[in-house]
Chain A
Amino acid sequence: MTATIETFAGRRPHVQPRRVGTGAVLRWELRKLAHQWRAKAVLLAALVGPIPVVFVIHGQSRPPKDSLFGRFATENGFALALLILGFAAQWALPLLTSIVAGDIFASEDQHGTWKTVLTRSTSRGRIFWAKTLTAALFAVVTLAVLAASTIASSVLIVGRQPLTGLSGQQIAPSHALALVTASWASMLPGMLAFTCLAILISVWSRNPAAGIAAPAVIGMVMQLVGALGGVEPIRPFLLSTGFEAWHGLLTAPRFTQPILEGAVTSAGWCVVTLAIAYLTLRRRDITGG
C-alpha cells in the first residue's frame, strides 16, 4: 500500500501540496484493489465457479425439488440459473462482496497504514467515500460477472427450453432470458446493503476476518429469521426479504412492489450503516497506527 502512495506522490513532484479530491483517492483505491489477489480471486470465482455447479446439477438424476425452480433445473437452463440465484442469495452474495468491503478499512488497521494514508494530503472523509465507492463498484462488477457466468453456462450447457413460471404459465425462451437477467439484477440493492454492512463492521472491528465473516453470518441469520412464522412485522426490514423479491417477476400477473420495497430497505440499511461507519472513522484516534 505504501508503495502505491509513494508512486502517486512521486509522479507529481512539482505540484504545490494541496488536498486531493475524492476522484483521485478513488483512482488510487481502485489501483490498490486491482493489485489485491483477494479481489482477483473473487472475480475469478464468480466467473468460473458457476460452471462446475451447472454441470453437477445438470448431471443429477433427481432434481432438487425443495428449492424454487429446482424441479425443472436438470432440464431447463433458465430454471437452473434461477435455482443458483436462490442459492447465491442465501450466503454467496453477502460473502463475495464482504471479501473486499469487509477488508477495505480493516486492512489499513492490520497493516498499520492509517497514519501513512492520513498524513498525505487528503481528508478522512475523502478516504471514506473513496473506499466506499470502490467497495460498491466491486460489488456491482462481481454481481454482473456472477450473473453473466451463471446465465451463460446454464443456457449453454442445459439449454433454452420454455420456462414454467411461478403461476404455472409458459414463458417463451427469449422472454425468459430477460426475466432471469432482471431477477439477477434485482439482487443489486441487497448486495450493496451488505457491502455497506461489511464496511461498518470493517471500520468498527478493525479486523478483516470479522468484516468478511460477519456479514455472511448476519445474512444467514436474517434468512433464518425471515423464514420463521410469526415474524411478519420485521420481514420488510430484513435484507433477505429483498433477495426474494424476484419471485414477482416470474408470476403472471407480475408484481414488482417487493423489489421497490427491498430497494428502499437496502437504501435504509446503507444510510444507517455508512453514517455510523463514517462517524466512527471520523472520531477515531489514529496515533498508534
Chain B
Amino acid sequence: MRRTLISVFLAIVAVVAVGAAAFALDSGPSSITKARIERSLPATFANLYVQRAALQGRTGLTPASLHAKTMCDKGGAASPDVGAGSDWNCLMSWTDPEVPMPPEGYGKFELQVHSNGCYTAGAPSKLVGFQTITDKKGRTVNNPAYEFDGCFDPQGDNTPTGVVFPSLLTVTSTTVQPTADHKAAVQISCGTGHGGCTGTVSATAGDVPLGSTTYAVKEEQTATLTLPTALPAGATDVTFTFTSKTGVVPPKPSTIPLQG
C-alpha cells in the first residue's frame, strides 16, 4: 500500500512539476492570437447569420455577401492581445441591407476563448436579436447567431488582418453634476477600439456658452470632463457637442438635465 501511495504521489508530482516549470519559464508564444480569432470569428458568424436569416425566410444573403470583418482586443489597451481568457472583445461590421450598422459602424461581440483554440461568442442583441427568434412558420426557435461556439486552427494563418475600428465615445452621466465652483461636469467612457478617444467638447446651458475643453481617453477607460465656464443661475440642462479627432462621437449634441 505504501508503494502504491508513493507511486501515485510521484506521478502527480511529476505532472505538476512539469506544469510549474513551464509556468515559471513563462511560455513561448501562445497559439491564441488576435489574428487567428479575427479570421475565425467573422467566418463563423457569417455562416450563422445566414442560417438565422434562412430561418426567418429571408433569401439572398450569403456568408460572402455579408463581408463580415472584425477587430479583436483582449482586456483593454494595456494588456497584450494574446492568450486564452474571457476578456476578449471583438468589434464586427457586416452588410445586411435590412439591418444597417449603427453610426460607429460595428457591433461588439464578447468572447470567452479557451486554451484549446475554441471560443464562445455573444453577439450584440441590438443587431442580431435575442436568444430566440420567430421563424417563417411563426414558431419560436433558437437564434443561431445570438450565442455560438467556434474553433480555430492553433497553427493557422497568423499574419495581422489589419482590420481597425475606432473607439466609441459615450456619455455615461444621466444628469450633470455641478462641481463645487458651479461648473458643469460630465462623465464619458471610451469603448473598445483603435487609438482611444481624443477631441474637443463644447457645451451650452440654454443659450449661455460654457466654453470647451479637450479630452484624451484611452480605450476601455472613463473620464470626467469639466467645462471652464461656471453654470449660469437657473440653468436646467446642458447640451454637449463632441468634435472627434480619434474615435467616434455621438452624431447629435447630447442634452443632459442638471441635477437638483
A170 to B44, CA, bound (A): 11
Indicate if the CB atoms of A214 and B26 lie closer than 8 Å.
Answer: no
Q: Which of B7, B48, B116 contacts A210 (CB 8 A)?
A: B7
Question: For the side of the interface on B, what is the size category?
Answer: 35 or more
* Interchain CB contact (< 8 A) of B116 among A209, A247, A252: A247
Quick one: closest A residue to B153, CB to CB? A255
Question: In the docked arrangement, what's the CA distance between A49 and B118, Å?
Answer: 28
Stretch at the interface among A128-136, A138-146, A229-237: A229-237
Q: Does B115 lie within 8 Å of A227, measured CB to CB?
A: yes
0/1 string, A112-137, CB within 8 A of B gives 1: 00000000000000000000000000
* Cβ-neighbour of A247 out of B22, B23, B151 (below 8 A): B151
Report A273 CB to chain B, min CB distance, Å: 11
Given contacts A166-B150, A221-B16, contact A201 B11 (CB under 8 A): yes
Nearest A residue (CB) for B15: A221
Residue B79, interface by CB 8 Å: no
Please determine whether B116 and A166 come into contact, CB atoms closer than 8 angstroms: no
B1 sits at the interface (CB 8 A)? yes
On whether the beta carbons of B117 and A210 are closer than 8 Å, the reply is no
A247 nearest CB neighbor, chain B only = B151
Please tell me if the beta carbons of A214 and B8 are within 8 angstroms of each other in the complex: yes
B228 interface residue (CB < 8 Å to A):
no
User: Which residues of chain B have C-beta atoms less than 8 A from A209's C-beta?
Assistant: 4
Would B115 and A164 count as touching, CB distance under 8 A?
Answer: no
> Is the beta-carbon distance between B23 and A230 smaller than 8 angstroms?
yes
Knowing A230-B23, A234-B19, A247-B118 touch, does A167 contact B11 (C-beta < 8 A)? no
Residues A69 and B11 in contact, CB atoms below 8 Å apart: no
Which residue of B30, B51, B116, B151 is within 8 Å of A251 (Cβ)? Answer: B151
Give B8 Cβ to nearest chain A Cβ, in Å: 5
In the complex, what residue of chain A is closest to B6 when comparing beta carbons? A205
Which residue of chain A lies nearest to B10 when distances are taken between CB atoms in the complex? Answer: A204
**Which chain A residue lies CB-closest to B155?**
A257
Closest-by-CB residue of B relative to A213 is B8
The verdict on A168 contacting B43 (CB below 8 Å), with A217-B12, A230-B23 known, is yes
A250-B170 Cα distance, complex, nearest whole Å: 40
Q: How far is the CA of A92 from the CA of B5 in the complex (A)?
A: 22
CA distance A166 to B151 in the complex (A): 6
What residues of A have a CB within 8 angstroms of the CB of B85 in the complex? Answer: 229
Q: Are A233 and B25 in contact (CB under 8 A)?
A: yes
Residue of A nearest to B42 (CB): A168
Given the interface pairs A221-B15, A250-B151, A251-B152, the reply to whether A167 lies near B27 with Cβ below 8 Å is no
Is the CB–CB distance between A168 and B22 below 8 Å?
Answer: no
Q: In the complex, what distance in Å separates the CA atom of A251 from the CA atom of B41?
A: 12
Contact (Cβ within 8 A) B115 A232: yes
- Which residues from chain A contact B46 at a C-beta distance below 8 Å? 168
Q: Which residues of A contact B23 (CB under 8 A)?
A: 228, 230-231
Distance, CA A4 to CA B254, complexed state (A): 90
B118 touches A214 (CB 8 A): no
* A228, B28: Cα distance in complex, Å: 14
Contact A218 B11 (CB under 8 A): yes
Query: Which residues of B sit under 8 angstroms from A241, Cβ to Cβ?
Result: 116
Min CB distance A255 to B, Å, is 4
Provide 14 A-B residue pairs closer than 8 Å at the C-beta atoms, listed in order of the A residue.
A166-B44, A167-B40, A167-B43, A167-B150, A168-B51, A217-B12, A218-B11, A226-B115, A230-B23, A231-B22, A233-B25, A237-B18, A247-B151, A251-B150
Which B residues are within 8 Å of any A CB, using their own CB? Answer: 1, 3-4, 7-8, 11-12, 15-16, 18-19, 22-23, 25-31, 40, 43-48, 51, 83-85, 114-118, 142, 144, 147-156
Residues of A within 8 A of B (CB): 65, 68-69, 71, 164, 166-170, 201, 204-207, 209-210, 213-214, 217-218, 221-222, 225-235, 237, 241, 244, 247-248, 250-252, 255, 257-258
